[in-house]
Amino acid sequence: MFNGIIVQEGKIYKIVKKSKSSVLILKSKMKFNQNEIGSSVSCNGACLTVSKIKKSIIYFFLSQETLKKTIFKNSKIGDIINLEKSLVFGKRISGHYLQGHIDTTSQILQIRKIGKSWFIKFSVRAQNIKYLIEKGSIGINGISLTISRLFKNAFEINVIPHTLKLTNLSNLKKGDKVNIEFDLIGKYLNNIYN
C-alpha cells in the first residue's frame, strides 16, 4: 500500500526482455539495503518487487500481466520513473491510498501552463468514466492527484510547481502515456451498486 507522495525518482538503466516477461533495472539515489529484497516499491504507480540490489542499481521483475496493463511495455533506457516505498504503519498519510494495481493507461491530450502550474488533460475510455468524480482522487504514474475537471472522454488535473519538481510529470508531453490507478473506494462502491 502506498500514498502517492513521490520524493524520489529512478532512471531506467537497462531492460532485459524475455519471451513473456522482462527485468527492469533502475538507477536511483533512493537508499535500499539487502534486507529490502522482496519488498514492494511503487514504480510509476505499479507495485513491483525488489529482486536484487547492487549499490544504486535496483532490479524488478515485470510479469506478462504487468507488461500488458502498464506503460512499461514501451519504456526505454533513460526514462525517469517515480518511486515510492510501501507505507509504514503509524506514519502520516498525505495523499490517498494506492495499491499499486494499475487499472489502465491514459494518453496526454493537452498541457496548458498557467503561471507555474500545469493543467494536464488525459484521455479516459468510456467504460472507465464511472470511476471518476470532480475533486476525487486518482493515481497517475504513482502520484496522488485530484481531478479538477471532467469531460465526456477525458479528465483534467492541476499540477502545482512542488509536484512538478519532485515527479516525472514535468518530463511528459502531449501524446505520452501514463499509468492510471482509479480510487479504491470508487471501484468498490461501483462494484457494490452495479
Which fold does the domain 104-193 belong to in CATH? Elongation Factor Tu (Ef-tu); domain 3 (2.40.30)
In this prediction, the residues of the chain whose per-residue pLDDT falls under 50 are none
Nearest-10 Cα torsion for 131, 137, 79, 70: -20
pLDDT for 89:
81
pLDDT for 92:
78
The CA distance from 4 to 97, in Å, is 7
Residue 142 φ then ψ, to 5°? 85, 0
Number of helices followed by number of strands (H, E) in the chain: 3, 12
Domain 8-85 has CATH 3.10.20.90: no
Domain boundaries, the chain: 8-85, 104-193
- Percent of the chain surpassing pLDDT 70: 100
Nearest-10 Cα torsion for 50, 54, 58, 64: -70
Which residues, including other chains, have CB under 8 Å from residue 162's CB and lie 6 or more apart?
A: none
Tell me how far CA of residue 180 lies from CA of 35, 67, 70, 117, 144, in angstroms: 30, 14, 8, 21, 10
**Which tens digit of pLDDT belongs to each residue from 123-167?**
999 999 999 999 999 999 999 999 999 999 999 999 999 999 999
Average pLDDT, the chain: 94
Q: What is the pTM of this model?
A: 0.94
